[in-house]
């Protein structure tokens, strides 16, 4: 299967399409006149953003601030634009891997197609008959900006129930903490 490689991408963002509660989430990389869009779960977007922040904070800590880029996303790298259209799903993500390239001072993000036969992440030895892979190499500043946007996209969903934390539909929801009684959205 193909390896969609962007080193570096002109744009790398997370986004969602649809109404809260029915959204489809995407990672989208573009550059060199091509765009790759891969679908994934809301939780995967959230975890990717959180792990990116943790990775960069650890690089900063270990290097005593000499490596790992800025501690916050530079405003100049903010990208709040919509996903590029036409939006065509190239594959659905199963696993995501992260790494820090010390020599190039870049974050490597690899999203692998959901498959029964995953390949070893973050290697150049991807079998031709294996799952598809989206691989991007971005600066620490770009990674911070990506994380900020990704967390913002995730937070734009349904508000949580104040009792159990599950998402509230427009009419509320059946709350397990209320023994199956409806909690109205307030």
- Give the separation between CA 107 and CA 96, rounded to whole angstroms: 13
From the centroid of its chain, how far is CA 183?
Answer: 31
CB 166 within 8 A of CB 182: no
For 25-78, the pLDDT digits (tens) are 999 999 999 999 999 999 999 999 999 999 999 999 988 877 777 778 888 899
DSSP letter (8 states) at residue 85: S
- Give the separation between CA 106 and CA 13, rounded to whole angstroms: 16
pLDDT for residue 164: 84
- Check pLDDT > 80 for residue 186: no
Structural domain 3-155, CATH architecture? 2-Layer Sandwich (3.30)
Domain boundaries for CATH 3.30.2450 within the chain: 3-155
CB 107 within 8 A of CB 52: yes
| Integer CA distances (angstroms), 93 to 26, 82, 108, in order | 9, 20, 16
For 84-143, the pLDDT digits (tens) are 999 999 999 999 999 999 899 999 999 999 988 766 766 666 667 789 999 999 999 999
């Amino acid at each position: 299967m193909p390896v969609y490689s962007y080193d570096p991408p002109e744009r790398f963002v997370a986004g969602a399409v649809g109404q809260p509660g029915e959204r489809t989430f995407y990672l989208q990389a573009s550059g060199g006149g091509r765009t790759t869009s891969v679908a994934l779960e809301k939780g995967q977007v959230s975890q990717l953003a959180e792990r990116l922040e943790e990775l960069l904070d650890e690089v900063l800590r270990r290097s005593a601030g000499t490596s790992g880029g800025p501690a916050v996303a530079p405003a100049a790298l903010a990208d709040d634009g919509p996903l590029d259209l036409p939006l065509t799903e190239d594959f659905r993500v199963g696993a995501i891997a992260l790494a820090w390239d010390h020599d190039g001072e870049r974050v490597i993000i690899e999203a692998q197609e959901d498959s029964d036969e995953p390949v070893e992440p973050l290697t150049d030895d991807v079998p031709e008959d294996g799952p598809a892979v989206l691989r991007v190499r971005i600066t620490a500043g770009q990674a911070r900006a990506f994380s900020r946007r990704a967390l913002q996209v995730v937070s734009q969903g349904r508000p949580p129930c104040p009792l159990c934390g599950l998402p509230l539909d427009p009419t509320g929801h059946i709350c397990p903490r209320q023994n199956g009684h409806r909690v109205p959205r307030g």
